[in-house]
């Protein structure tokens, strides 16, 4: 009896590329927030200042995403 390898491909190549790209963007955003938090802790900032800096970063990212979606719609 011989075993045959079965290729397991739950998604097409372009779907995998989108998944990987979205995951990269997610990690990039979350990782940057972590870096911001750690650098502020090292500078001796309090929790309120850290939360404000991260909220400002999230607003900046959201505004960039909104602009990107608008550009994509316009072509």
Give pLDDT, residue 5.
65
Tokens 């309120």 map to which residue? 48
Residue 3 in any domain: the answer is no
Mean pLDDT of 16-44: 83
Residue 17 in any domain: the answer is yes
Residue 30 in any domain: the answer is yes
Note down the domain range covering 37. Answer: 13-74
Q: How many domains does the chain have?
A: 1
Contact 36, 49 (CB under 8 A): no
Give pLDDT, residue 69.
81
The mean of the pLDDT values for the chain is 82
Mean pLDDT of 68-72: 80
Residue 47 in any domain: the answer is yes
Residue predicted with more confidence, 23 or 4: 23
**pTM for this entry:** 0.52
Give pLDDT, residue 45.
96
């Amino acid at each position: 009896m011989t075993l045959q390898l079965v290729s397991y491909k739950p998604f097409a190549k372009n779907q995998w590329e989108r998944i990987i790209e979205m995951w990269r963007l997610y990690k990039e955003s979350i990782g940057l927030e972590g870096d911001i938090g750690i650098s502020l802790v090292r500078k001796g900032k309090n929790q309120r200042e850290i939360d404000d800096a991260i909220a400002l970063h999230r607003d900046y990212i959201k505004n960039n995403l909104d602009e990107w979606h608008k550009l994509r719609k316009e072509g």
